[in-house]
A and B are shown apart, each in its own frame.
Chain A
Amino acid sequence: MEPGTVETTTLASGLRPELLMQFLDELRDAGYSIGVQQYIAVQDLLLTLAAEGTWTGELTELHRLKRLIGPIVCSSITEQESFPTQFEQWVEQVKSLHYQPPLSEAQQAQKLEAELNELQREATWLRRGLVTAITILTIVLFPIPIHKAVLDTDELPSQPKPLDTQPGPASENPTVPDTVTPSETAQDNPATPNTTPALPEPLPEAEQAPTDAPVKEIDFSSLEAPDPPDSIFKSDSGQRAWLYLAAIGSASLTWRLWWNWQARLFLNRRTSHKSPELQTVSMQELKTSIFPSSLVFQTAQQLRQRTRQRVDTLDVFQTIQASLRKGGWFTPVYGYRQVIPEYLFLIDRASYADHQAKLVENLIQQ
């Protein structure tokens, strides 16, 4: 049934008679003594009330229906006491599953508008997700043009090249820092403030390594700026890292979109307004009696065999026969009748959990 519509098979609006029949089926399964006559009586009642115009099938009238159906389907005190509870449970079930009150035009419009808004929201999120995925893929697949565009806009600071190292022992002195000229030590010019780090004192002549090669002076002002380092995208490890991250990002985005789609399918299924297609599956011997029914049936038949009981009323035919045989002299012959014997079963129960007593009780009930 489409949401917001009313099936024409309902009595008026809301309750379908077959739902009520299903309720009677449930009562029957619950042990109520309900026969075909009760089904007919309930249908009869509903039709009569509908014909009189006192029953509209609205949900608010279900409680009135409870008072009217109860005397039809109940046949004992226990059933009468449990019936209201059963009915209330059924009403809750009907409300949640089957009952579709008719919607006004404004309500229908509101409902459709809400559905449209929902679809629009979903489309917006989907668009955003797609744009993000395309962006990431683009960055991953086409890094060089992007990196160059990024590099052109930025200026890298010039970095001094490392000193040219001369072959010889002098260059092997680890105590001399590369950026300090030996001619500008603090010892040679003690009056000037020490702006450069002072060189350590030269080692005594005995410890100095003999050097024959001349020391080349380096002019830092003529040094050229070193070449910028290679781009990270050009390096193998960087590329691998980016590819790895992009793959993870794409996979997670794809998984998320797929999960949302699956969830939407599931939720849509749950909120379907169509009646499910039910198939009846019968399982034999699911509910069997404790004792074999044939044996119990035979025993019950024997117990119910009628017994001959003498009564204090005359058997007319026999009396006439006897009187005629006696030459018209009134000879009363009392009659007999066949009666079903009645039994009283007393079960001695040792405790509430006495299984033997329970077994015997079941046998007697069966």
Chain B
Amino acid sequence: MRLPFYRGDGSGRRPETAANLPVPQRARLMKPEHYLADEGLRDACNVALLLGQPLLLTGEPGTGKTQFAYNLAWELGLAPPLKFETKSDSVARDLFYTYDALKRFQDIQSELTAGNILDYITYQALGIAILRTRQPEEIRELVPASFNHVQPQRSVVLIDEVDKAPRDFSNDLLNELDQLYFRVTELGNTAINVNPKLQPLVIITSNSEKDLPDAFLRRCIYYNIPFPSSARLANIIASHLGANTDINNAFLRSALDLFDRLRAPENGLRKKPATAELLGWIMTLQQFGDTGANPLADPSIVLKTLSSLVKTAEDQPKARSVVERWSQAQSKQQR
């Protein structure tokens, strides 16, 4: 099925069978093997691995903070990261385990099960990572029967967008992050310690919406991922999408040129497009354009795909005017 998939013209036509939509190409963007880390990030990661401290990453949304954890796990030959998605009401205990007291109460009242307390404890990202460093027989009495653990292994833990949580979340994690242990109150306050030889690799990301406590920052290795330069963007695009790596390629040059203009401060976009938006936009352009032709040569295609770059209502008209000016400039150059 070719574009446009959706008409919205009120014609009243409806196919008899469900539309056969193309498989989204987003999976290509998520492949960890195509991730390109910048030099500073590589150094920060190596320092964090050397010192055994968590790595705190900040940067604009879409600069690859979360993807880095997947790439790290892939490159070190480890299982995909154990991800903890921080919420606005997260508490420190949620990072290690959750206890469903209500279900247990209900089961006991209705006399459905014997009520093994371990069945109501669900271990989360960092808790699982710590438990996995121990021998299975050592933790048999601490985990439910459904806990899958064959042999000790190292894991990567991703604590995503930690700044969403209240300040207490970070403050309550200081000791636990330092010494990588946690206690289960429901099991008699048992302390579960990590095996130092298989210490988990902790990656923490933050959008810097809120300041994190100093005590928390001091326990982490910090790196702010800067927005990549044009040359690096070309490499990233080539790495993810297999687009022509030659910077002289007209399509790539035009795309990066327009992208830079949209990000320019003088154009005043409130939410500037980032790397992730750029990759999505280029994928879309590739679908729109005919084979061999530069889709950016047609301004209408650019305007159609602008929504993948610009995400706010107030930025839409500004972006349109930027695209129009850019198209006029391109036309003059070609003459």
Chain A: residues with CB nearer than 8 A to chain B? 33-35, 37-38, 41, 44-45, 48, 67-68, 70-72, 74-77, 80, 311, 314, 316, 319-320, 323, 328, 330, 332, 337, 339-340, 342
Contacts and interface: CB of A to CB of B under 8 A. Distances in A.
Nearest to A340: B167
Given A67-B40, A80-B224, A340-B167, A72 B219 contact: no
B171 to A, nearest CB: 9
Among A34, A45, A75, A316, the most chain B Cβ lie within 10 Å of the Cβ of: A75
A327 B101 CA distance: 19
B221 interface: yes
A320 B101 CA distance: 10
Contact of A340 (B44, B47, B48, B168): B168
A68 B58 contact: no
Contacts of B47: 45, 68, 71-72
Contacts of B217: 33, 75
Given A37-B219, A328-B109, A70 B168 contact: no
Interface string B31-72: 000000001100110111011010100100000000000000
Nearest to B186: A316
Contacts of A74: 222-223
Given A44-B51, A80-B222, A80-B223, A67 B101 contact: no
A314 B48 CA distance: 39
A332 B101 CA distance: 11
A339 B91 CA distance: 11
Across the A-B interface, give the 5 residue pairs with the lowest CB-CB distance, nearest first: A71-B44, A75-B217, A67-B43, A316-B101, A35-B218
A160 to B, nearest CB: 105
Contacts of A68: 43, 46-47
Contacts of B219: 37
Given A45-B51, A48-B50, A75-B217, A70 B40 contact: yes
Contacts of A80: 222-224
A316 B210 CA distance: 31
Interface in B181-240: 208, 210, 214, 217-224
B105 interface: yes
Given A33-B214, A320-B105, A77 B224 contact: yes
Contacts, number: 76
A70 B41 CA distance: 11
A67 B40 CA distance: 7
A202 B112 CA distance: 173
Interface residues of B, number: 33
Contacts of A34: 218
Given A41-B53, A44-B51, A339-B166, A319 B214 contact: no
29 contacts: A38-B218, A45-B50, A45-B51, A48-B51, A68-B43, A68-B47, A70-B44, A71-B44, A71-B48, A71-B221, A71-B222, A72-B47, A76-B224, A77-B58, A80-B222, A311-B89, A314-B101, A314-B102, A316-B101, A323-B105, A328-B109, A330-B109, A332-B102, A339-B166, A339-B168, A340-B167, A340-B168, A342-B167, A342-B210
B173 to A, nearest CB: 15
Contacts of B48: 71
Contacts of B222: 71, 74-76, 80
A74 B222 CA distance: 6
Contacts of B224: 76-77, 80
B98 to A, nearest CB: 10
Contact of A330 (B39, B105, B167): B105
B211 to A, nearest CB: 9
A61 to B, nearest CB: 13
Nearest to B50: A48
Nearest to B216: A75
Contacts of B223: 71, 74, 80
Among A33, A41, A342, the most chain B Cβ lie within 10 Å of the Cβ of: A41
A279 to B, nearest CB: 31
Contacts of A44: 51
B218 A67 contact: no
Given A45-B47, A48-B51, A80-B222, 6 more contacts: A71-B40, A75-B217, A319-B105, A323-B105, A330-B105, A342-B210
B166 A340 contact: yes
Contacts of B43: 67-68, 70-71
A332 B106 CA distance: 11
Among B40, B217, B224, the most chain A Cβ lie within 10 Å of the Cβ of: B224
Contacts of B40: 67, 70-71
A311 B168 CA distance: 15
Contacts of A37: 218-219
Contacts of A320: 105
Among B44, B218, B219, the most chain A Cβ lie within 10 Å of the Cβ of: B218
A134 to B, nearest CB: 70
A320 B58 CA distance: 43
Among B89, B91, B222, the most chain A Cβ lie within 10 Å of the Cβ of: B222
A332 B103 CA distance: 12
